[in-house]
Amino acid sequence: MQTQVGSNSDSASRSYEALRRIARALDVHSRKLYRECSLTSPQMLCLSTLKCEGAQILSTLAARLHLGVSTTNGIIDRLEAKGLVQRSRSREDQRKVFITITPEGEELLDKVPELMRDIYAQAFARLSPEEQQVFASMLERLAGLLDPSGNIQPYHDLIAYAETNYEPDRPGGHAVALE
């Protein structure tokens, strides 16, 4: 089902194609990263975040990466199996488990190709400060329109369409409906 909005259809089409090109660049970079380092982009982002921000509990790390807790837990399981992160219980509160990067994880980060986030930051820096501000604001607005529930922590696995009958198992008890 296609919906066109007058003269805005050309702008919508151009911006959608630009987003597809960006998504393609992310995919190509992710595949290169996996071939060279046997790590996925989300695994590398976890390592980078832990190195830059220090020990994190799982829910905080998941929120920081805009991933679900169960997704982040799987990523951490794989990184822990490779000896790149470790889990340790808090001495103050035994219920809290902190995740830290190991020296092997830090060593690997020093060897990997540039993260896509850094490549993006370099390209973004080539825009004028005014363009940066407008672009960031517009992307945030568009992201908000695509996730009308306003979740800060996105739940990528449940998007309800009229043709689906997902059982909502989300905070607030509802699936995201795209209109």
What pLDDT does 82 receive? 95
Domain segments of the chain: what residues? 9-112, 127-179
What pLDDT does 172 receive? 47
Q: With 80 as the cut, is the pLDDT of residue 85 above it?
A: yes
Q: With 80 as the cut, is the pLDDT of residue 4 above it?
A: no
* Residue from 66, 100, 107 nearest 86 by CA: 100
* Number of other CB atoms surrounding residue 64 within 10 Å: 16
126 three-state secondary structure? coil
Topology (CATH level 3) of domain 9-112: Arc Repressor Mutant, subunit A (1.10.10)
**In contact, 72 and 46? CB cutoff 8 Å:** yes
Q: Which two tokens stand for residue 92?
A: 């103050």
Q: With 50 as the cut, is the pLDDT of residue 122 above it?
A: yes
pTM of the model: 0.64
Sign of CA dihedral 71, 72, 77, 78: positive
What pLDDT does 2 receive? 53
- Residue found by looking up tokens 């996105």 in the block: 154
What pLDDT does 76 receive? 96
Concatenating the DSSP letter of every residue in 3-68 gives: ---TTHHHHHHHHHHHHHHHHHHHHHHHHHHHHHHS--HHHHHHHHHHHHH--EEHHHHHHHHT--
- Give tens-digit pLDDT for 32-76: 888 888 888 889 989 999 999 999 999 999 999 888 999 999 999
- Give tens-digit pLDDT for 147-165: 766 555 444 444 444 444 4
CA angle 130, 124, 34 (to 5 degrees): 160
What pLDDT does 151 receive? 54
Q: With 90 as the cut, is the pLDDT of residue 77 above it?
A: yes
What pLDDT does 167 receive? 45
Sign of CA dihedral 63, 69, 71, 72: positive
What pLDDT does 29 receive? 85
